Every structure is written in structure tokens, then in C-alpha cells.
Amino acid sequence: MQIAIVGAGISGLTAARQLQSQGHTVTVYEKSAGVSGRMSTRLTEFGGFDHGAQYFTAASDRFKKEIADWRKVGWVVPWESKLVSLDCGAVAAAGRTSKRFVPVPGMSSLGKQLAHGLDVRTEQQVVALEKFEKQWLLSVKSEMVPIAASAGPFDAVILAIPPEQATPLLQVHSAFSKKVGKVNLEPCWSLMLAFQTPLNLPYDGAWVSHSRLGWISRDTSKPDHRAGERWVCHATAAWSKEHIEDDAERAKDKLTKAFHEATGSPIQAIHAAAHRWRFAQATEPLPEPCLWDAKQRIGVCGDWFAVELEGVGRVENAFLSALALAKEI
């Protein structure tokens, strides 16, 4: 079959590789300039910042096996980090012992590796789906061409994007649209800080309580990341929701203040920037592993499907959901 996949995050790329290896012809459409989606690295003159997903863990045997394969080829490594809990400046042992992995040299490098050998069209936003006899046509918009162009026809189409972005495209499928419309991803403001000198904090990452920030981590403690002292901090979902329409300058100032309060470090950053993730992580998943309508040949996958895991909104969910959909197809 000729299959179109919308979204080049871990779920879209995993589905694409799997379907291509089964003999299908796959085209991936990605609205951003690069692949990886929320597993991305912001490049700056001070080095990269993994400002979305921080690391991943594996609960299922299938994902453990995939990580073992990625480790063999050097795409990912374990992150042996000292993680703690921080509460009003007090440091306590974190008590969370999962094995954590990171792609090297940055989070987005995994997506780049997975995209090798795939037909990925970047800076191409799919704005509508249309049924053309028994096939699908995509309306695709890019910066270069101001009007939407038609792509296809395709025998099947997969949406590997957050539910808020999938819903408008699912006007062509009322049952899926209704289901997907019920799921929301919570937002997250992310703060990136670079320092001239080491802060010498006695941890590499911390879950923070009683703060605007819920998580901070020393990006440069990850193996094979460019040297320096760079920290990534994530605001809590509650604070991010309340301040979702703040401009980036205002969010940056408020979160930088929270970083100093949480760590007790007075050292000022030489670089600070904030990034708003409007759709960061799901809290309430759809119970099934993916959606697939064999008659219409349209499917949906992503990290907001439960895939029999306890947690949700993680890289592992996205990976397993994509595999489940490829299997259905």
C-alpha cells in the first residue's frame, strides 16, 4: 500500500519504519523543520538543550529489546544520574530507581537516526484529509507555497500527532473524532539556562515541590553531551496552564527566579530562554493501544494511548502504540 503518515515524532517514525519493512511505500509529513517532535534538542551557541522529553524508561519487554538494539548501534546510552527531590531548598533522596536512557549526543538524534532511509517531507503541514474514491488525499501547506497543495492519493493514512492536532483532521471520521476529542495533553513551559561556571549542585536532576517548577536537570550530566553547565527546567502542569498565554520573556523571568529559589544558587545564567509546549503530556490516556479503521484505512497512534502500561504520555507509549498500529495494518 501507499501510506501517508502525519507527524515525524517517535510514533510516526516507528510506524513508518515498521510499515516500510513490511513492503509498504511510506511518506511522512512533518510540519516542523526537523524530525523528533517532543523528543527534541534546541541548539544554541552554548550547546544543545533537551527541552522536551528528558530521558526514557522501559517497562515492557518489547521496548527493552528495542533499547538494547539502539544501545548496540550507539544511538542511546544509560544516563547514570543522581536524582533527588527538592523541597524549599532541602534535598532528599528521590527513591525512584528506574533505569533511564538518553539518545546521544542529544534527544533529537534518535529521531534523526530513525528517519534514515525514510521519505520524510519536513515543513509540510497536513491541514485536511479528503476521501477520493477509496483512497486519501492530503491538503498540505508549507512556508514556501502559501496555498495548500494536494498530496496523494494514498491507500491508508496514519495520524501520529497529539489529539488536539488530530481532531481537526478527523472531521472525515466522526467516530474517531469523537474519541480523540475527549483527550487533552497538558502544557509545559520549559526553561533553558546556561552558566559560565559549574553550579556544583549535589545532584544531576530533581523533582521539585512547592515551586512553579516540577523538574530540573543538568543537561550536561548526560553522556556525550557538549561540555558546559546547562540546565533544563520544566514548570508544573498547573503553572503552565495558568500562564499558557504569557509571552516567553515573562515566563523566562518567573521560572528563572523559581530556579534560584529551588536550588539556592545565586549564580546568574549567561543564557536563558523559555519554550512553550502547548501539548506536552497526556494524563488520561485512551485505553486501547491505537485506533485503526480497516474499512476506511485510517489510523491514529501516539503517546496518549495506554498500550497496557501503567504510565502515560511517555516515549514508550508512543513507540508501542505505533507498533500496535503497524501490526493492525
Nearer to ligand FAD, 39 or 67 (CB): 39
Select the residue interacting with ligand FAD from 16, 157, 180, 315 (CB under 6 A): 315
Of 9-17, 59-67, 81-89, 253-261, the segment contacting ligand FAD by CB under 6 A is: 9-17
How many residues bind ligand FAD (CB under 6 A)? The answer is 37
Region of residue 291 (left: phi > 0; alpha: psi -120 to 50; beta: else) = beta
- Nine-digit cell string for 167: 481532531
Name which of residues 79 to 118 contact ligand FAD (CB under 6 A): none
CA angle 326, 324, 111 (to 5 degrees): 70
Identify the residue whose cell numbers are 542529544: 106
Name which of residues 254 to 283 contact ligand FAD (CB under 6 A): 277, 280-281
Q: Which residues contact 295 (CB under 8 A, 6 or more apart)?
A: none
* Distance of closest approach, residue 266 Cβ to ligand FAD, in angstroms: 26
Cα–Cα distance list, 68 to 73, 105, 116, 211 (Å): 9, 17, 19, 37
Nearer to ligand FAD, 209 or 267 (CB): 209
Q: Please state, in angstroms and rounded to a whole number, the distance separating the CA atoms of residues 178 and 69.
A: 38
Select the residue interacting with ligand FAD from 6, 274, 320, 326 (CB under 6 A): 6
* Distance of closest approach, residue 245 Cβ to ligand FAD, in angstroms: 18
* Distance of closest approach, residue 36 Cβ to ligand FAD, in angstroms: 7
Contact 10, 122 (CB under 8 A): no
Query: φ and ψ at 143, to 5 degrees?
Result: -60, -35
Q: Which residues contact 224 (CB under 8 A, 6 or more apart)?
A: 77, 104, 105
* Distance of closest approach, residue 265 Cβ to ligand FAD, in angstroms: 22
Q: Which residues contact 313 (CB under 8 A, 6 or more apart)?
A: 185, 280, 281, 282, 283, 285, 303, 304
Cα dihedral 192, 193, 198, 200 sign = negative
* Distance of closest approach, residue 2 Cβ to ligand FAD, in angstroms: 18
Nearer to ligand FAD, 266 or 287 (CB): 287
- Nine-digit cell string for 57: 524508561
Select the residue interacting with ligand FAD from 20, 125, 142, 296 (CB under 6 A): 125
* Distance of closest approach, residue 196 Cβ to ligand FAD, in angstroms: 26
Name which of residues 27 to 56 contact ligand FAD (CB under 6 A): 29-32, 37-39, 52-56
Q: Convert residues 227-256 into a mask of x (bound to ligand FAD by CB under 6 A) and - (unbound).
A: -------x----------------------
* Distance of closest approach, residue 263 Cβ to ligand FAD, in angstroms: 19
Name which of residues 142 to 201 contact ligand FAD (CB under 6 A): 160-162, 165, 188, 190
Q: Please state, in angstroms and rounded to a whole number, the distance separating the CA atoms of residues 200 and 214.
A: 20
Residues at the interface with ligand FAD (CB under 6 A): 6-12, 29-32, 37-39, 52-56, 125-126, 160-162, 165, 188, 190, 234, 277, 280-281, 302-303, 313-315, 318
